[in-house]
Amino acid sequence: MTTVLVLNGPNLRRLGTREPEIYGADTFDDLVDLCRRTGAELGLKVEVRQTDDEAEMIGWVHAAADARTPIILNPAAFTHYSYALHDALAQRTAPLIEVHISNPHTREEYRHTSVVSSVASGVIAGFGLNSYVLALHALKNLL
């Protein structure tokens, strides 16, 4: 069974309480459950992680590249400025899907630019937590 990492950046553990008008009322635990259930339906083992630490995220990406592990990534705020994360992701050896719960292009102008998208296999945004479901299906098709 293929293992997939679902990596989440800053503030995503605050789902359910952080700006619910943008990110919805579902919690991070709801996201973990949704990803694991969807993965099981697709024959994928899904490991969901979250960090507010850029160095920890980069370490996870390096380990995934070394192990040829596919990634679904919600880089959160790292999306807009982390060239270090971009450079780590550029070393990927398996598919990478960038996801966002909201649609960054309908929000503040600084959110319109992703430094991650250029190294991703694809981007899914604006469908709430369903963005992760769509990403898991897309990833399965890429494998």
pLDDT grade, residue 123 (50/70/90)? very high
Whole-angstrom Cα distance, residue 82 to residue 41? 33
The answer for residues whose C-beta is within 8 angstroms of residue 83's C-beta and 6 or more apart is: 115
- Does this model's pTM top 0.75? My answer is yes
Q: Does the annotation count 132 as an active-site position? A: no
CATH number of 2-142: 3.40.50.9100
- Segments making up each domain of the chain, as ranges: 2-142
Q: Does the annotation count 23 as an active-site position? A: yes
Q: Is 87 annotated as a binding residue?
A: yes
Is residue 23 over pLDDT 90? no
The interaxial angle of helices 130-142 and 28-41, nearest 10 deg, is: 30
Mean pLDDT of the chain: 93
Question: How large is the average pLDDT for residues 78-86?
Answer: 94
Question: How large is the average pLDDT for residues 38-45?
Answer: 98
Q: How many CB atoms lie within 10 A of CB 51?
A: 19
Is residue 76 over pLDDT 90? yes
* Cα–Cα distance list, 123 to 74, 118, 134, 143 (Å): 10, 10, 10, 16
Q: Is 131 annotated as a binding residue?
A: no
Q: Is 66 annotated as a binding residue?
A: no
